[in-house]
């Protein structure tokens, strides 16, 4: 079991990405991996890596106690900002990290807290996070799209009825568009 991971839920009018579906409104969920490994979605490290570290931000860069930069993937901010530019977008972040304090702090230091309407960061199963966010957001599982780099999370969440996308090298605008096109093609009312 990974030490921690997270996702975001999104309510996103798809029109900016899919002109042929300009009247289609859907909801999405992304996975933000917070575990070590080559294949992550928004940042390539584990929150536990910084459990004992004093994290701080200076001149737009986040640093650890050793004054080493702590960086998300370079396209992560662009993806979050682009999605949030859409009217009526609702984002939520949830993490099963065993270092929730670090998860909260990193989101704030990266400046991503302005993107999230729901924050659920605590150790629990992926299905529990999705059930909680579905309840708080009012979204049904079939209205969600989920990005993750771990196939067992994809299976677990997919069993709830969520459309899932396996991520290999982070979420970028190309993957987002591909996933939205696929989601629109199989979603009711699309």
Q: What is the pLDDT of residues 30-57, one digit of tens each?
A: 544 333 233 367 888 888 888 889 999 9
By the 8 A CB rule, do 145 and 165 touch? Answer: yes
Q: Answer yes or no: are the C-beta atoms of 144 and 28 closer than 8 Å.
A: yes
* CA–CA separation, 39 and 95 (whole Å): 17
Which pLDDT belongs to residue 26? 45
User: How high is the pLDDT of residue 46?
Assistant: 80
- Cβ-contact 178, 166 below 8 angstroms: no
What span, in angstroms and rounded, lies between the C-alpha atoms of 65 and 88? 38
Structural domains of the chain in order of their starting residue, each with its CATH number? 5-186 (3.40.50.1000)
Q: Is 9 helix (H, G, I), strand (E, B) or coil?
A: strand
Closest CA to 78 of 184, 176, 11, 178: 176
Is residue 13 scored above 60 in pLDDT? no
Phi, psi of 110 (to 5 degrees): -75, -10
- Between CA 56 and CA 151 the distance in angstroms is 33
Q: What is the average pLDDT score of the chain?
A: 77
Calculate the CA dihedral of residues 105, 109, 115, 118 and round it to 10 degrees. Answer: 10
Q: Are 70 and 50 in contact (CB under 8 A)?
A: yes
């Amino acid at each position: 079991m990974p030490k921690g991971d997270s996702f975001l839920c999104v309510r996103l009018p798809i029109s900016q990405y899919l002109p042929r579906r300009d009247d289609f409104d859907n909801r999405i969920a992304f996975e933000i991996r917070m575990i070590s490994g080559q294949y992550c979605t928004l940042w390539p490290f584990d929150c536990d890596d910084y459990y004992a570290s004093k994290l701080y931000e200076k001149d737009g860069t986040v640093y650890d106690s050793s004054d080493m930069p702590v960086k998300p993937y370079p396209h992560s901010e662009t993806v979050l900002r682009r999605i949030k530019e859409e009217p009526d977008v609702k984002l939520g972040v949830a993490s099963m990290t065993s270092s929730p304090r670090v998860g909260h702090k990193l989101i704030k230091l990266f400046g991503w807290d302005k993107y999230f309407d729901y924050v659920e960061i605590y150790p629990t199963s992926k299905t529990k996070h999705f059930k909680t966010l579905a309840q708080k957001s009012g979204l049904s599982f079939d209205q969600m799209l989920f990005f993750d780099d771990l196939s067992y999370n994809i299976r677990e969440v997919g069993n709830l009825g969520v459309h899932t996308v396996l991520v290999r090298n982070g979420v970028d605008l190309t993957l987002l568009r591909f996933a939205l096109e696929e989601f629109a093609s199989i979603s009711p009312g699309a």
